[in-house]
Amino acid sequence: MKGWEMARKIPQSNWFWYLSGIIFALIGTQFQKGPGYMDSAYYTVGGLQLFEGNGFVEPYIWNYLANPKGLPAPAFVYWMPLPSLLAFMGMWLGRSPDFVWAKLPFLLMAGFLPVLTVYLTRKVITNPAYAWIAGGLAVFPGVYALYLTIPETFIPYMIGGGLFVIIAFFANNQWIGGLESFQRFLLLGFIAGWMHLTRADGLIWLISAFGVVIWRIRPWQSRQKMRVAINGLLALLLGYLILTGGWYYRNWVVFGSMFPPGNGKSLWLTSYNQLFAYPNDHLTFTNWLKAGLPAIIHARLDALSLNLQNFLVVQGSIILVPLILVGCWSKRHHSAVKFETMMWLLILGMMTIVFPFAGSRGGFLHSGAAIQIFFWSMSVAGLEQLIIWMKKARGWGMSTSMTLFGTFLILINLFIAGWFFYQRVYRVPNHLVWNESIERYQRVGERLDDLHISKQFIAMVNNPPGFYWATRRPSIVIPDGDIRHALAAAKRYGATYLLLEENQENLSNLYANPHDMSGVRLLETHEGVHFFLLLPEAEWGWGEISWFKK
């Protein structure tokens, strides 16, 4: 009864926005029958492993940076566990490993996007009545509509970023206390922990939270402020460790260190595909320098170009970009605007200079999601400022103009969402392209069953998480390089067969001209996938394997 009374106290407008966000997300997610790409498959399988009682281990290896000993391998060495924990919660609630249950927590979280966006917008614009425009943009979130309800980092990162700026600069009630209260800093630490458990780069939000404490209290001014700052930092750290302490303990037990091994090698990539290199001893600072200054600069200029394109198309829905810029400029004296602008520039710099390959291949798109609620709010602030200028110059009616242009912006966002959804999910009449890769792997798995290839045998594939989700078969990723690198990885980890798909760039010649060679034997082609047997017969004893005999 008490919970119902609390629900009744929530403003009706919040319920409207929450349900609107869920309804739109629910419409789109009906067509996404499985994880459509590797990242989502990774988090989904992570949830599945927990649901099936296997713990934090993975039945595949998708990169070799940490030099894993074998299968099963420790989970979440490169990526963080929160999306998988959420997927597990959905499966646990539904008592089923079906994908629809893995999506449930993300669907329920999607409703908070417009709620938080409307709240923030009411705080930053001159007339809070126009916050509905920002709410509409969050309900129809453009390109992000593709990723709202699948197990991924987008929704938890968006919500974490929105809550961070609201708690740090705006929310003010009896429970949260003043801007320098212990409770507020404790909550900021909790949010920073949430973001770090979502993405490895979420650690910058903890660092930025420390900066908020220092900047706000200015401990150098007096001993009293120094004591307040120390208490604030301790509260921040406590909130952070409440959420992440167990994760650090797990890392210490499994790896003997606070952080998993090997990820530092990603700093020295000279191409994206080196992320999958085996062996990867060449991923060092020295070899990185040998690439030459022109190549290093060129890679970062390319990353900057792609990341700015993502800002233009994804974060700014093209038409919102000038409004975001005007909004930020018109509110430039506000602390929250300064902070969020700094954070966006920090994310852009990190995903351009430090991680140019991962950043331009989706890292910036993921990390930048933390600023998205702020951008929607700033676009309305920018529109309001433009209408104010036009009212003075041309006598435009404020309310009519805001309604007209606000509706137009929402419709543009809806159109972009629909267009990208059509291209990435539907596209071909009566055929859902989103589900193609998983369905192909399912048919490949059925063929492997027909060939009596045991599920204990380890495959080498392009997308190990997706392959496992579709077939429940262990696998390792096809490494970067030529067939010799694939054979070296197969020998180390015991892979017995290779499934070669058309999109395997580094073995494209072998795909175009499949044939036997030393250590590799062509078995057959099925669903456009070449089946190869791996390792020399003398070493592997193919002659004793019944399913190889023709």
The span from the CA of 528 to the CA of 475, in Å, is: 19
Q: Residue 10: what pLDDT?
A: 53
Q: In the predicted model, is pLDDT for residue 55 greater than 80?
A: yes
Residue 157 · residue 112 · CB < 8 Å: no
Mean pLDDT computed over 325-329? 96
Q: Tell me the one-letter amino acid at 362.
A: G
Nearest to 108 by CA among 12, 19, 46: 19
Question: What pTM value is reported for the model?
Answer: 0.92
Q: What are phi and psi of 530, to 5 degrees?
A: -85, 130
Tell me: the pLDDT tens digits for 424-435? 887 666 678 898
Residue 327 · residue 378 · CB < 8 Å: yes
Q: Residue 545: what pLDDT?
A: 43
Q: How far is CA 388 from the centre of its chain?
A: 38
Q: Residue 172: what pLDDT?
A: 74
Q: How many CA atoms lie within 13 A of 486 on its CB side?
A: 27
Run of H or E residues at 525: strand 520-526
Strand partners, 532: 498, 522
| Arithmetic mean of pLDDT over the chain | 91
Q: Using the CB atoms, write b or e for 474-499: b if 16+ within 10 Å.
A: bbbbbbbbebebbbebbebbebbbbb
Q: How confident is the model at residue 174 (pLDDT cuts 50, 70, 90)?
A: low
Residue 498 · residue 506 · CB < 8 Å: no
Q: How far is CA 298 from the centre of its chain?
A: 26
Residue matched to tokens 């204990």: 456
Q: How confident is the model at residue 538 (pLDDT cuts 50, 70, 90)?
A: very low
Tell me: the pLDDT tens digits for 287-321? 999 999 999 999 999 999 999 999 999 999 999 99
Q: Using the CB atoms, write b or e for 193-226: b if 16+ within 10 Å.
A: bbbbbbbbbbbbbbebbbebbeebbebeeeeebe
State both tokens at 80: 């963080």
Indicate the SS3 state at residue 92.
helix
Q: Residue 549: what pLDDT?
A: 40
Q: What are phi and psi of 310, to 5 degrees?
A: -65, -40
State both tokens at 39: 């990242």
The span from the CA of 348 to the CA of 360, in Å, is: 10
The span from the CA of 15 to the CA of 36, in Å, is: 31
Strand partners, 427: 432
Mean pLDDT computed over 204-231? 88
Q: In the predicted model, is pLDDT for residue 286 greater than 50?
A: yes
Residue 258 · residue 246 · CB < 8 Å: no
Q: How confident is the model at residue 397 (pLDDT cuts 50, 70, 90)?
A: confident
Q: Residue 209: what pLDDT?
A: 94
Residue matched to tokens 């492993």: 49
Q: What are phi and psi of 57, to 5 degrees?
A: -135, 160
Q: Give 141's DSSP letter.
A: -
Q: Residue 429: what pLDDT?
A: 66
State both tokens at 350: 């990190």
The DSSP code sequence of 262-321 is: SGGGGGG-SSGGGGGBSS-TT-SHHHHHHT-HHHHHHHHHHHHHHHHHHIIIIISTTTTH
Q: Give 544's DSSP letter.
A: G
Nearest to 243 by CA among 181, 196, 176: 196
